[in-house]
Amino acid sequence: GENVEQHPSTLSVQEGDSAVIKCTYSDSASNYFPWYKQELGKGPQLIIDIRSNVGEKKDQRIAVTLNKTAKHFSLHITETQPEDSAVYFCAASRHTDKLIFGTGTRLQVFP
Amino acid sequence: DGGITQSPKYLFRKEGQNVTLSCEQNLNHDAMYWYRQDPGQGLRLIYYSQIVNDFQKGDIAEGYSVSREKKESFPLTVTSAQKNPTAFYLCASSIDPRREQFFGPGTRLTVL
């Protein structure tokens, strides 16, 4: 069935460094790829998303890249800050289908 | 103040009891979803509804039931048939299935 793999499961970086989280999807028909940030005890919040007709999208310090041929997409956070510490989830879906989530990455940014 | 609300935040129940989790949204969204989150795992879809009076099973629907009698409400009942109900439950909504999902704050259910 459809599957999204996410790596790494934990990531520790020094404040100011960059962080990269990678996801691979199995369904070649997937065309929507959102990234969510979840802080402790709260619901996930969308931070950025990308559709299959775009290869890269940026929003200030965060960016997402998509490689449709290899079926993987990545989240890049530059100049990390302690408030970036959270669990990040990637997801993939087809046009009108349900989201399939990755298993999450716990990011810790040390001051 | 628009948004999606879930209540209660924490819920404790004895084994064998049914329990209903509330989810309300005032975003005028047609689609609503219920997810279960366990430690070290991603969000898994329990049920979803694309329109009032209609809903479909997700990947882990066994032991759960839902209703969608009103556009703004999508309650989830965890029945005694659910073998391992202790988890964090998240409700979400979207204007339509092709658009982003907005999540509520979640309900942590503990079955004793």
B26 backbone dihedrals φ, ψ, rounded to 5°: -115, 30
Tens digit of each residue's pLDDT (9 = 90 or more) over A14-23: 999 999 999 9
| CA dist., res. B15 & res. B82, Å (int) | 10
Position B17 pLDDT exceeds 80: yes
Tens digit of each residue's pLDDT (9 = 90 or more) over A49-78: 999 888 999 999 999 999 999 999 999 999
DSSP 8-state class, residue A66: E
Q: Which residues of B touch A89 (CB under 8 A)?
A: 42-43
Q: Which residues of B touch A45 (CB under 8 A)?
A: 103
C-alpha to C-alpha distances, A97 to A22, A53, B30, B69, nearest whole angstrom: 22, 17, 14, 22
Position A97 pLDDT exceeds 90: no
Q: Over chain A, what is the mean pLDDT?
A: 93
Percentage above 70 pLDDT, chain B: 98
Q: CA angle, B7 as apex, A93 and A108 as ends, to 5°?
A: 55
Tens digit of each residue's pLDDT (9 = 90 or more) over B62-98: 999 999 999 999 999 999 888 899 999 999 999 887 7
Q: Which residue of B has its CA nearest to A94?
A: B98
| CA dist., res. B1 & res. A46, Å (int) | 19
Q: Which of B98, B99, B108 to mutate to test the interface with A (most CBs of A within 10 A)?
A: B98
Q: Looking at the complex, report in whole angstroms how far the Cα of residue B112 sits from the nearest Cα belonging to chain A.
A: 20
| A34 touching B (Cβ < 8 Å) | yes
Position A10 pLDDT exceeds 90: yes
The verdict on a CB contact (< 8 Å) between A101 and B43 is yes
Position B39 pLDDT exceeds 90: no
